[in-house]
Amino acid sequence: MALSNRAKQYIRKNRSAGARNLAKKLNADLLEVQQVLDEQPASTETEISNPGYNRIFTVFALLIPLVFFVLLEAGLRVGNYRGNTDLFIPLHETDDRYTITNPNFAARYFFYTTVIPNPPLEPFLTEKPENGYRVFVMGESSAAGYPYGFNGVPGRVVQDALRDILPDRHVEVITVATSAINSYTLYDQVDEILDHQPDAILIYTGHNEFYGALGAGSNESLGSFPAFVRFYLRVQRLKTFLLLRDQITGIAKWIATRTAPADQGLSTLMQQVVRDQAITLDSPVYELGKIQFESNMNQILNKFEKAGVPVLLGSLVSNLKDHTPFESVQTDSLPGARDVFDQARQRYDEGDFDTARLAFEQARDLDALKFRATSDFNTIIRTLSDRDGVYYVPVEEHFETIAENGIIGFDLMLEHLHPNDTGYFELAWTFYEVLRDKLSATGAPDLSAERDKNAYFEAMHLTQLDHFMVRHRLHVLTRSWPFVREPRRDIYRDYIFEGFIDSLAFDVARNNKRWDEAKVELGDYYLMRGELDSMLAEYRGLMRDQPFNDSPFLIAAQQLLDRNRLDEAYPYLLHAHEISPSAFTYKMLGAIYVDRRDFESGIVFLEESLKLAPSDAQALFNLSGAYAQSGELEKALDLADELIAINPSFPGAQAWKSQLESILNR
């Protein structure tokens, strides 16, 4: 008799008993029992008995890698893998009242090079005030003021002038520009900048489009499709992605070190970022660079336009007359860059400056090592400036009007493309003038408050220390590749230091000495020599760089107070007081008000000082004098008694009390 379905199910569930025992148990034919066992393997028995098992198993199988990567991402974040790469971080020294650009944010983009550049550290209020006017400066090393840095940052000139003409606004100009980046990085910065409520954006960029991070000719390149690279910029915020990227890069570096020469000469960031050392105007890479720049800039401008933020876009300048092309490559359709440069020099020497300028521009464009933007990039910038909400800044045109014979050279530039101090000031001023004119259309600025242009140049406070620091950075740069094809390792062998300041600048530029520490050390050096004005010049530079730090303001004020230069000390004291009110600032400001015969203000400040330091004999003496001069002699005498009780030997206290008693007893 054939087995029933119930019998077959029983056989499958109890298959471990064996065919013979099951046949005996069911009183069934042994061959039929064996046939049932052979039909259904043991591994799928549970699935047949429970049809939902397959679905559950599939879900868990899919969840396992997902859970793994979630846990891995969480672990990497807890372990702070690659550090914090946000564009902005709180400045903890100010109890997070201020925010700064993150020195580590460029770690997002540099995975092949060993040097990670960083932007200027420019503090701005974490909470934008209601009367705030906030501007961000975007770009590369030139927008960041290299090789000056600090007070050579051009955005600070714009800030100085805006603060004068917008006296009722809290003006902040924050530079996020960084060396060796390009439009990809600028695109990646936009959303984080918008989070901080900008009122305007200044952009000076284009020189690094080939060799900047992720650029068309860079070692950090990710391919030829801008949309794909922008997608990469979004996913690289994941720590897991960074870990995977670093592992792949590490293997690539290991292979490179096994196959490359022992001495690769990668001593500068310039050489580390370069992959294609010969990019001619008729090459696919050159076309890709232009496409990359225009595509990214359009995306950047789209975002700012959507947010209603105006953008000032500047044309680019570089050294035409005094910089020989790095790489000369002649093709079937193009001449060599150096041949054209030599022809330009000849026309210049003959006095044919118009022809020479065109030839110098052609030589720059033909330079196959694309560290200087070509004319095509300025054409793209001018076209982009036709958009709504974008304002063209004629930097190149302005430089040509002030350059010797209308051709940009060492009169405005330090080497191939970075301006000198005059050049940086003029670059900043050109941006400022366009922004000022835009603001004037609204009637907002007080143009009568604008100082003489030269006063803003002086207010950069670049001292001898800064200029020596630049000298050392250029000494290394111009004795390295590509300025020198086979650079020496002992580039300082023939250098003769010019004294203490030169040596101090060397420590800043080459030995990682902090710039602010060097300024303080140099200030002490000047004080020892009795050169107070030179000391104050260094401290003014510190004040401009660190307006949130009361220390340089207090030290400068104290030196001036010691010399009874009260009016000069007053603004420094007032600024320090606004940062961090103290018994000292209350006392000294009170003394200055009394000296100015503003007894009412003097009394208020001196009384506040005594609340914080009740036993301060100097404050008691000054307050007693203020009350006496305002006609309140009884209060003055009471304070004189209190002073003598605290410090009976305080100079002049006894005589002052006697004088008050004599007046009151008349």
What is 600-615 written as a DSSP string? Answer: HHHHHHHHHHHHH-TT
Contact 592, 573 (CB under 8 A): yes
Residue 623 in any domain: the answer is no
Give the closest residue to 108 by CA, choosing from 238, 292, 218.
238
Residues 455 and 480 in one domain: no
Residues 349 and 294 in one domain: no
Residue 620 in any domain: the answer is no
What residue has token string 């922004």? Answer: 435
What residue has token string 């030196």? Answer: 559
Residues 481 and 341 in one domain: no
> For residue 41, how many other CB atoms are within 10 A of its CB?
9
d(CA 506, CA 468): 8
Contact 13, 2 (CB under 8 A): no
Q: Give average pLDDT by consecutive 10-residue segment, the chain, 666 residues.
A: 76 78 77 74 49 66 68 71 86 90 86 78 94 98 96 98 96 96 94 98 96 77 68 70 64 57 49 73 93 96 98 98 96 95 98 98 97 97 97 98 98 98 98 97 90 97 98 94 86 93 97 96 97 97 94 97 96 96 97 96 96 96 95 94 93 93 86
Residues 22 and 136 in one domain: no
Whole-model pTM: value is 0.84
- pLDDT tens-digit series, residues 289-317: 999 999 999 999 999 999 999 999 999 99
Coil, helix or strand at residue 215: coil
CA atoms within 13 A on the CB side of 371: 25
As beta bridge partners, residue 125 has 98
Residue 347 in any domain: the answer is yes
Q: What kind and span of H or E run contains 175?
A: strand 170-175
Q: Which of 516, 543, 570 is the last residue of a domain?
A: 543
Task: Copy the structure tokens of residue 523.
Answer: 């200030």
What residue has token string 């800039």? Answer: 297
Residue 549 in any domain: the answer is no
Residues 164 and 224 in one domain: yes
Residues 524 and 436 in one domain: no
Cβ-proximal residues to 206 (8 Å cutoff; 6+ apart), any chain: 183, 293, 316, 373, 377, 378, 380, 381
d(CA 389, CA 544): 31
Residues 9 and 117 in one domain: no
d(CA 207, CA 368): 13
Domain assignment of residue 332, given as a range: 328-366
Residue 251 confidence (pLDDT): 63
Contact 369, 298 (CB under 8 A): no
Give the closest residue to 145 by CA, choosing from 136, 137, 154.
154
d(CA 551, CA 441): 40
Task: Copy the structure tokens of residue 55.
Answer: 């679905």
Q: Which of 427, 460, 493 is the last residue of a domain?
A: 460
Q: Which of 460, 493, 513 is the last residue of a domain?
A: 460
Cβ-proximal residues to 489 (8 Å cutoff; 6+ apart), any chain: none
Residue 648 in any domain: the answer is no
Residues 358 and 378 in one domain: no
Residue 135 in any domain: the answer is yes
Burial 227-246 (b: 16+ CB within 10 A, else e): eebbebbeebebbbebeebe
Distances (CA, A) of 130 to 67, 170, 445, 446, 578: 45, 9, 17, 19, 18
Number of domains in the chain: 4
